[in-house]
Amino acid sequence: MLHFAAADVLESEPTAPRGLSQESLSGEGWRWWMAGGVKTVAFAGCWVHIDEGSQYLHTSYPDGRSLWSVPVWEKDIHTARAYGYGEDARRLWREHDVLHHRVALCFGHLGSPTLWSECHNDDARALPLWARREEEVFVAHVHRWLNQGLWHDDLWAFHERGHHLQAVFDDCQRLLASLRP
C-alpha cells in the first residue's frame, strides 16, 4: 500500500503570474500555462516548469527551494522502455515529475511527498528512503497503466481513496498530453 506521509506545509497556493497573456488548461487539482517558451504546471504545493529548448525541468516550492531535473538520455531510455514510452525518453523526462505530483493529489497531498523530500532532505518531515521508493514504484505502475494499459493491484489505492479509476486515468492522460509539444 502506498504510504504518502510527508506533511504539506504551505501558506498559499501557487498561482499564475499576473498580466501574462497565456495559453492555459486545468484539471483536477492542477492547471498549466505557457509563457516565454516555458510551460508551467501549478499544483497546490508547487510549480513545475518545463523548458523543452533548454532541456530542463524545474520544480519550485513556495519556500524558495527547488528541484532540478535534466535528462540523462542513456539512463532515461531504459526507464522509458520499462514505463511504456518505447524510445521516447524525452516524453518520459517531461512527464515523470508531473505525474508524481498529480498522483499525490489523489492521496490528499499538495504535491509529491517524495519530490518535496528530495528538495528538503534537511527537514524533519522529509520521507525516509523506503517511503520515497514506495512512491516511485507506485508512479511506475501508473506510467504502465497510462501507456500500456497494464494493471497492477496497487492501483486500487485510487479507488480506496474514493476516486473513480476512469476519471483518474482520463485526467492524468489529459494532463500529460497537454505537456507534449
Would you say residue 10 lies in a domain?
A: no
CA 58 to chain centre: 11
Task: Identify the band that residue 180 occupies on the pLDDT scale cut at 50, 70 and 90.
Answer: confident
Each residue of 87-134: pLDDT tens digit?
Answer: 999 999 999 999 999 999 999 999 999 999 999 999 999 999 999 999
Decide which of 124 and 20 is more confident: 124
Decide which of 14 and 44 is more confident: 44
Distance CA 166, CA 139 (A): 17
Would you say residue 113 lies in a domain?
A: yes
Burial string for 112-148 (b: 16+ CB within 10 Å, else e) reads: bbbbbbbbbeeeeebbeeebbebbeebbbbbbbbbbe
Inter-residue contact 33 to 16 (CB < 8 Å): yes
Would you say residue 14 lies in a domain?
A: no
Would you say residue 6 lies in a domain?
A: no
Would you say residue 166 lies in a domain?
A: yes
Name the amino acid, one letter, at 63.
Answer: D
The yes-or-no verdict on residue 12 having pLDDT over 70 is no
Domain count within the chain = 1
Distance CA 167, CA 105 (A): 13
**Which of the 8 DSSP states describes residue 67?**
E
